[in-house]
Amino acid sequence: MTSAKARGGTAVGAVLLCLTAVPAQAAPQDPTAHEAAGSSAAALPEPDLIGLRDVLRTALKQGAPGAMARIDEGGTVRLVTTGVANRTTGRALDDIDRFRIGSVTKTFTATVLLQLVDEKRLDLDASVNRYLPGLLPDSGITVRHVLSHRSGLYDYTNDMFARTAPGFEAVRTKVFTPRRLVERALRKPRTNAPGAVHAYSNTNFVVAGMLVEKLTGNPVGTEYQKRIIEPLRLRDTFYPHPATTIPGRHARGYLTPDTAGDALVDATRQTVSWAQSAGAVVSSTRDLNTFLGALLGGRLTSAARLAQMQRWVPAGSTQSYGLGLRRRTLSCGVSVYGHTGAVQGYYTYAFTSKGGTRSLTALANTSNNGSVLNTMPGALESAFCGKQTKPRRGTAAPVERHEDIAPGVALD
């Protein structure tokens, strides 16, 4: 099934490609935005929409019910969609469908904390225990360590989802307190000394959410709403936790079981309480592109805080990690900034160029599928590198495990 609605564009093969001009997104302006932009999309080649289509079609062949991508640049929107949002009804996936964004939530959480630094309510280099007394066993773990995944705190999801489908069903409707999740992590030895190396852990951003709530006196969802969602007019972005449903029109998400050949599990209905401020936000391709464009364009934090967010540490062969933000270096040498997201039923890639001038969000409505996970980075290549005559480096290489919800558990 494919979308039959062109929205002012052209249907190409089995995939909808459409090009639509839209008004610029209103957002609060920052006087440093032009400095933050630097040299950006002016040097980027035209996106390769045919290549992008091929990436999404490949994801379908590998087991994703549907896949879509949206590129926003200077008021121009490019869309590619294929497959279905609902396997039962056969409804085609559409750009207006909302979905669970998984760990892209971490960038929202980090942005709120960086705003609190701007307000002089938080010191990045202070101990977490200064703000949350007695929470962690080591007062040497700072806020910066947490936001850059250098705390050494064990990722509790490694055990929680050691068996994919049973692990999910055990927590699908549960509601955890953040402290309970941190306590699960603290039962295990730490992975390294504070500040030593990057070691991705959802525990870090549960702690980050606790910091937001402690410093503001509000639920983390309220702070997302007040500081990001309302100023940017994000109409599809919500923090529904602990509700189990996605508000409004949405894509259903399908979890791939560990045993080959077993039926996909419809994982749409869940609290995502196991993730909370590490992965429970719902959004859309439009809203994520707006958010990342505003963030890297310098419109959500001061220039100084955005620079702190981009103090990179190594996080793989082609990636670095800042504070709740990834930098990926593509085969053409272009660096893009954003985050990946994996939550049961959904894989999300949301990245923008330097200065936030060209943004891509790509979604496949499946998870626990290593082949699809390894294919989706090709959407970044097509969006930011354009057509290439040589094979793209790294597209067939084993994907690094920190792209997924349980970094220590093998996908296949």
Give 298's strand partners: none
- Given a cut of 50, whether residue 58 has pLDDT beyond it is yes
Q: Which of 103, 127, 201, 277 is catalytic?
A: 103
Q: How confident is the model at residue 26 (pLDDT cuts 50, 70, 90)?
A: very low
264-287 pLDDT tens trace:
999 999 999 999 999 999 999 999
Domain spans in the chain, listed from the N-terminal domain onward: 49-385
Read off the pLDDT of each residue in 364-388 and give the average, rounded to a whole number: 96
- Which pTM does this prediction carry? 0.89
186-216 pLDDT tens trace:
999 999 999 999 999 999 999 999 999 999 9
Active site residue 335: no
Read off the pLDDT of each residue in 249-254 and give the average, rounded to a whole number: 98
Fold of 49-385: Beta-lactamase (3.40.710)
Q: Which residues contact 407 (CB under 8 A, 6 or more apart)?
A: 155, 157, 158, 200, 201, 401
- Given a cut of 80, whether residue 394 has pLDDT beyond it is no
